[in-house]
A = this chain, B = another copy of it.
């Protein structure tokens, strides 16, 4: 069994809480495979299948059996690696976050002029709008679920804050490069950019081929307006 490794209260299998399991050394003597455990790998694998299914069908229409069918396992295994549906989706949301928040870090680090930063940011913004559209609509779906389902709230709020910081890093660096300061705080700035992105996503998924271009134009136009006039 997996359950008796670390948790005594949890009645079920290896849980999310023991993501920090790397501390308890596995008793395998040598290290033919990385000791980070196959469990984490399986869980990641199943979470990937879940993310794929969720981003295609949306939260309301996604069932555990459908997720399992998008993996190479049967539906029972999901309850071996996750306590229940909420636990699985929470895990998915965390994985989504990890792949998201570093998207613009390269641009922020390398840009030497405000124009270069803006151009790099807009390019990546438009790219992810068309390339990762299903994933983004899933994020908005799950964030909305958190307004109804308190079980999701904490994880969703944490991710939203990390996205807020991501936007803040971009805009405050942009302001720095222009020698000015942002007009508002991180929350409002994020809300503005997120609103523009969400509207562009709606149009993108409706088949509007100009969605990405218009998003770039709008954000590019608004970016200077979000700085305090000198």
Are B157 and A206 touching (Cβ within 8 A)? yes
Q: Write out, one digit per residue, whether chain A residues 184-227 have a CB within 8 A of any chain B CB (1) or not (0).
A: 10011011111110111110011000000010001001100110
Q: Write out, one digit per residue, whether chain A residues 135-175 have a CB within 8 A of any chain B CB (1) or not (0).
A: 00100110111111100010001001000000000000000
Closest B residue to A190 by beta carbon equals B199
Closest B residue to A187 by beta carbon equals B199
Per DSSP, are chain A's interface residues mostly helix, strand or loop, or mixed? helix
Inside 8 A of A199's CB, which chain B residues have their CB? 187-188, 190-191, 194
Interface residues of A in 33-65 (CB under 8 A from B): 57-61
What count of chain A residues pass the 8 Å CB interface test? Answer: 43
Are A196 and B191 touching (Cβ within 8 A)? yes
Inside 8 A of A147's CB, which chain B residues have their CB? 58, 137, 140-141, 201-202, 205
- Report if A13 contacts B (CB, 8 A): no
Are B187 and A225 touching (Cβ within 8 A)? no
Are B190 and A222 touching (Cβ within 8 A)? no
Closest B residue to A183 by beta carbon equals B225
Q: Once the chains are docked, how many angstroms separate the CA of A221 from the CA of B183?
A: 8
Q: Write out, one digit per residue, whether chain A residues 95-124 have a CB within 8 A of any chain B CB (1) or not (0).
A: 000000000000000000000000000000
Which of B143, B148, B184, B188 touches A61 (beta carbons < 8 Å)?
B148
